[in-house]
């Protein structure tokens, strides 16, 4: 991390001094693979140079080329069903034998079945969908649809948010890492404070009520905002507003003629204990964007869901993607949704959440380095404290590599928030082992202070 610059909120960096030490601990054969990878792939933050080389994956486990087994509590939020769920793999293989590709001017049974299932499981009256090959593409479609539906082009979104790494999506995103040194962004993209700063900026007395009033004022005074786009909860730091916040904001959007777009690309599809986080926060958006785990952790697939009153641009090309109705990806997604239901994974998320938060409460009482713990369903955030933000980030970085060495992978959000994102299908002994690794790593680091 560059001195004097804040940690990227979207994830841990891949250029810290500890990354170099980690690399030296790998075998010569693994380092050779990483060198070869870096030789051919453009280097970029949060990615290349890579951490390790994975040979195979099964369930909650990654297995690297040295045979090391790593519990995957990161998974880029795609692995609600774990890696290689047999129902998803079987659906993909079966569809490959019948219809591996469908040209865009045709439809197919898998796409229609998926659309029907998504509408059946959607919150509110979101009864029309469009499919896309990536989450960023889904956000782009949502932005286009908002412009056509309202005749406006302005957006409100939040600093520190992330909605994809394409040029149009970083314009509405608020993560500095993705915007710096790129020049002008899309016109009309205006920003609001991040949710977690509401008490600091609006005072300790009813901060989110005051923040909602500020949003109402922003929509009213401009009068030409097409959409407010937001994550219903900040996924990388596991922070949600109180349950009366989004209903107030939705009411403001409706009164001022703006659409509310929720980005549930990482948070949707069951991990929170409901199919979508917004179901717990009291507001149904006008457009809902989903992705990541929709393809069962195998196929890249995303979607937007909207009410049919927004089916207003039949002459426009909202998506027009070559793999828009990929039968193989749709078969994987349909198997994913059916598996969530058949295996009771919403209930499983609640149970794992109860057990996980109980474990974290014990750890917090034991380890002064833990400043706060948060959770929603089977998703957890452990905020690491330090003498100052830099010290907290450094301690969290050390914790990450200590856990990796012990067989646990997770993501750091905001520089100092350990986010624990396991599959909903994880075995109980693996789930318990991950929390034990974290507990022991915290104890080791405390002993060194």
3-class DSSP state of 163: coil
Q: Is 261 helix (H, G, I), strand (E, B) or coil?
A: strand
**Mean pLDDT within 44-68:** 95
Phi, psi (rounded to 5 degrees) for 356: -65, -45
The predicted structure's pLDDT at residue 193: 95
DSSP notation for 376-426: SSS-EEEEEP-SSHHHHHHHHHHHHHHHHHHTEEEEEETTTEEEE---TT-
pLDDT score of 181: 87
Starting at the earlier edge strand, list the strands of the sheet with 61-64.
54-58, 61-64, 69-73, 408-413, 417-420, 380-384, 370-375
Give mean pLDDT, residues 333-347: 98
Percent of the chain at pLDDT exceeding 90: 90
Architecture per CATH, 86-342: 3-Layer(aba) Sandwich (3.40)
What are the pLDDT digits (tens) for 200-255?
999 999 999 999 999 999 999 999 999 999 999 999 999 999 999 999 999 999 99
Q: What pLDDT, on the 0 to 100 scale, is given for residue 449?
A: 59
pLDDT bin (cut points 50, 70, 90) of residue 175 is confident
In this structure, of 159-168, 292-301, 424-433, the range with the lowest mean pLDDT score is: 159-168
Instruction: For the chain, give the mean pLDDT.
Output: 95
Contact between 270 and 82 (Cβ < 8 Å): no
At 3 the pLDDT is 43
Taking the C-alpha atoms of residue 266 and residue 271, their distance in angstroms, rounded to an integer, is: 9
Mean pLDDT of 157-177: 92
Report pLDDT for 200.
Answer: 95
For residue 263, pLDDT beyond 70: yes
pLDDT of residue 2: 45
Q: 83, 61 in Cβ contact below 8 A?
A: yes
Rounded to the nearest 10 degrees, how much is the dihedral formed by the CA atoms of 164, 168, 173, 177?
A: 80
C-alpha 436/C-alpha 427 separation (Å) is 14
How would residue 7 be classed by pLDDT, with cut points 50, 70 and 90?
Answer: low
69-73 and 61-64 beta bridge pairing: antiparallel
Range with lowest mean pLDDT among 13-22, 84-93, 260-269 = 13-22
Give the per-residue pLDDT at 11: 72
Contact 307, 128 (CB under 8 A): yes
pLDDT at 15: 79
* 3-class DSSP assignment, residue 183: coil
Confidence class for position 46, pLDDT limits 50, 70, 90: confident
Non-local CB neighbours of 180 within 8 Å, separated by 6+ positions: none
Among 400, 376, 383, which Cα is nearest to 51's? 400
Please say whether the beta carbons of 85 and 425 come within 8 A.
Answer: yes
Q: How confident is the model at residue 8 (pLDDT cuts 50, 70, 90)?
A: low
Task: Report the topology of domain 17-83+344-448.
Answer: 3.90.1150
Q: How far is CA 27 from the centre of its chain?
A: 32
Poorest-pLDDT segment among 37-51, 88-102, 329-343? 37-51
- The closest alpha carbon to 115, from 344, 333, 316, belongs to 333
Percent of the chain with pLDDT over 70: 98
Give me the mean pLDDT over the 62-76 stretch: 97
Prediction pTM value? 0.95
- Per domain, the residue ranges of the chain are 17-83+344-448, 86-342
DSSP string, 99-156: -S---TTS--HHHHHHHHHHHHHSSTT--EEEEESSHHHHHHHHHHHHHHHHS--EEE
| Paired sense of beta strands 380-384 and 417-420, if any | antiparallel
91-100, 180-189, 335-344 — which is least confidently predicted? 180-189
> What pLDDT shows up at residue 218?
97
């Amino acid at each position: 991390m560059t001195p004097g610059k804040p940690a990227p909120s979207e994830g841990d960096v891949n250029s810290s001094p500890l990354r170099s030490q980690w690399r030296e601990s790998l075998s010569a054969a693994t380092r050779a693979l990483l060198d070869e990878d870096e030789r051919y792939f453009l280097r970029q933050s949060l990615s290349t140079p890579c951490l390790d080389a994975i040979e195979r994956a099964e369930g909650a486990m990654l297995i690297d080329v040295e045979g090391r087994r790593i519990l995957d509590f990161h998974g880029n939020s795609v692995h609600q069903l774990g890696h290689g769920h047999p129902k998803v793999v079987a659906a993909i293989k079966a569809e490959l034998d019948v219809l591996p590709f469908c040209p865009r001017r045709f439809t197919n049974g898998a796409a229609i079945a998926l659309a029907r299932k998504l509408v059946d499981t959607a919150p509110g009256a979101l009864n029309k969908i469009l499919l896309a090959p990536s989450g960023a593409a889904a956000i782009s479609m949502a932005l286009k649809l908002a412009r056509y539906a309202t005749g406006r082009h302005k957006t409100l979104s939040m600093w520190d948010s992330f909605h994809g790494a394409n040029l149009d999506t970083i314009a509405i995103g608020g993560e500095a890492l993705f915007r710096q040194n790129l020049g002008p962004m899309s016109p009309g993209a205006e920003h609001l404070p991040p949710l977690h700063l509401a008490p600091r900026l609006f005072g300790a007395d009813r901060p989110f009520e005051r923040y909602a009033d500020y949003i109402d004022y922003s929509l009213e005074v401009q009068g030409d905002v097409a959409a407010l786009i937001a994550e219903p909860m900040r996924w990388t730091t596991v922070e949600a507003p109180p349950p009366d916040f989004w209903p107030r904001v939705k009411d403001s959007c409706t009164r001022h003629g703006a659409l509310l777009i929720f980005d549930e690309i990482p948070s949707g599809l069951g991990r929170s204990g409901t199919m979508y986080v917004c179901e717990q926060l009291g507001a149904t958006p006008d457009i809902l964007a989903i992705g990541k785990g929709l393809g069962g952790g195998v196929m890249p697939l995303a979607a937007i869901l909207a009410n049919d009153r927004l089916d207003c641009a039949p002459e426009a090309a909202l998506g027009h993607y070559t793999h828009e109705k990929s039968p193989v990806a749709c078969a994987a997604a349909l198997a994913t949704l059916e598996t969530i239901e058949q295996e009771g994974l919403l209930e499983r998320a609640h149970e794992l959440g109860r057990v996980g938060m109980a474990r974290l409460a014990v750890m917090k009482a034991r380890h002064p380095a833990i400043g706060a713990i948060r959770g929603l369903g089977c998703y957890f955030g452990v905020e690491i404290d330090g003498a100052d933000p830099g010290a907290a980030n450094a301690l969290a970085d050390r914790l990450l590599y200590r856990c990796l060495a012990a067989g646990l992978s997770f993501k750091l959000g905001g520089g100092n928030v350990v986010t624990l994102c396991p599959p909903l299908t994880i075995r109980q002994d693996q789930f318990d082992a991950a929390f034990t690794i974290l507990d022991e790593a915290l104890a080791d680091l405390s002993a060194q202070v």
